[in-house]
Amino acid sequence: MASSFAPKKSLGQNFLHDAGIAKWIADEIKPDGAPLVVEIGPGQGAMTTHLVGRAAKTLLLEKDNTLAADLKVKFEGREDVEVWHGDATRFDLRPLFKFGGVKVIGNLPYSMGGEILRHVLTPPTPVTEAVFMLQKEVCQRLAADQEDDAYGGLSLVVQHDWEVEIRRIIPPEVFKPRPKVDSAIVRLTPRPPGDLPVHDRAVFDRLVRMGFSQRRKQLKNLLPECPGGWDSLMGSLSKPLTVRAEELTLWDWVALTRHYEGRHEEDRGQKASEIFDVVDENNVVIGQAPRGEVHAKGLKHRAVHIFVFNKHGELWLQKRSHLKDVHPLTWDSSAAGHLDSGEDYATSAARELQEEIGISAPTRCVATIPACEATGWEFVELHVAEHNGPMKYAPDEIATGLFFRVEEIQAWIETRPQDFATGFIECFARWRKL
Strands 58-62 and 81-85: parallel
Q: Taking the complex as a whole, how short is the minimal distance between the CB of residue 65 and ligand SAM, in angstroms?
A: 9
Beta-carbon contacts of 4 under 8 Å, excluding residues fewer than 6 positions away, are none
- Of positions 46, 102, 104, 117, contacts ligand SAM by CB under 6 A: 46
- Residue span binding ligand SAM (CB under 6 A) among the ranges 60-68, 93-101, 185-193, 213-221: 60-68
Report in angstroms how near the CB of residue 3 gets to ligand SAM at its nearest: 14
C-beta separation of 126 from 93 below 8 A: yes
Q: For residues 94 and 319, which CB has a smaller minimum distance to ligand SAM in the complex?
A: 94
Stretch that binds ligand SAM, among 6-14, 141-149, 241-249, 272-280 (CB under 6 A): 6-14
113 binds ligand SAM (CB under 6 A): no
Q: Going residue by residue from 299 to 338, which x/- string records binding to ligand SAM, judged by CB under 6 A?
A: ----------------------------------------
Is the backbone of residue 174 left (phi > 0), alpha (psi -120 to 50) or beta?
Answer: alpha
* Residue placing its CB nearer to ligand SAM in the complex, 16 or 427: 16
Residue among 113 and 211 whose Cβ is closer to ligand SAM:
113
| Residue 14 contacts ligand SAM per CB under 6 A | yes
Cα–Cα nearest to 377, from 322, 433, 303: 303
Distance of CA 221 to the CA centre of its chain: 32
Q: Report how far residue 190's alpha carbon sits from residue 409's, in angstroms, rounded to the nearest whole number.
A: 23
Q: Which of 1, 5, 11, 410 binds ligand SAM (CB under 6 A)?
A: 11
CB of 143: closest distance to ligand SAM in angstroms? Answer: 20
Q: Which is nearer to ligand SAM, 112 or 350 (CB)?
A: 112
CB of 353 to ligand SAM, least distance (A): 37
Residue 42 binds to ligand SAM (criterion: CB under 6 A): yes
Amino acid identity of 182?
Answer: D
Which residues are 38's β-sheet partners? 59, 104
Which residues, in sequence order, are CB contacts of 198 under 8 Å at separation 6+? 258, 263, 267, 321, 323, 395, 396
**Chosen residue from 67, 207, 308, 323 binding ligand SAM by CB under 6 A:** 67
> Which residue is at the shortest CB distance from ligand SAM?
41
Interface residues for ligand SAM in 383-412 (CB under 6 A)?
none
The SS3 of residue 149 is coil
Q: Is 47 in the site for ligand SAM (CB under 6 A)?
A: yes
**To the nearest whole angstrom, how small is the minimum distance from the Cβ of residue 6 to ligand SAM?**
12
Report d(CA 238, CA 224) in Å as an integer: 20
- Identify the burial level of 173 via C-beta atoms within 10 angstroms of its C-beta, where 0-12 means exposed, 13-18 middle and 19 or more buried: exposed
Q: Assign residue 196 a region: left if phi > 0, alpha if psi is -120 to 50, beta otherwise?
A: beta
- Residues in contact with ligand SAM, counted by CB under 6 A, come to a total of 24
**Pick 88 or 255: Cβ nearer ligand SAM:** 88
Please report how many Cα atoms fall inside a 13 Å half-sphere around the Cα of residue 361, on the Cβ side.
23
Restricting to residues 80-109, which ones interact with ligand SAM according to CB under 6 A?
87-89, 107, 109
DSSP 90-143: G---GGGGGGS-EEEEEE--GGGHHHHHHHHHSSS-SEEEEEEEEEHHHHHHHH
161 close to 190: Cβ distance less than 8 angstroms? yes
Q: How far is CA 79 from CA 52, 72, 123, 358, in A?
A: 11, 12, 29, 44
Longest dimension (CA), the chain: 81
Shortest reach from residue 97's CB to ligand SAM, in Å: 21
Does residue 26 touch ligand SAM according to CB under 6 A?
A: no
Residue 391 Cβ, how far from ligand SAM at the closest point, in Å? Answer: 29
43 lines the binding site for ligand SAM (CB under 6 A): yes
Using CA atoms, how far apart are residues 275 and 248, in angstroms rounded to an integer?
A: 42
Q: Is 207 in the site for ligand SAM (CB under 6 A)?
A: no
- Under the binding rule (CB under 6 A), the answer on residue 153 touching ligand SAM is no
Residues in contact with ligand SAM by the rule CB under 6 A: 11-16, 40-44, 46-47, 61-64, 67, 87-89, 107, 109, 112
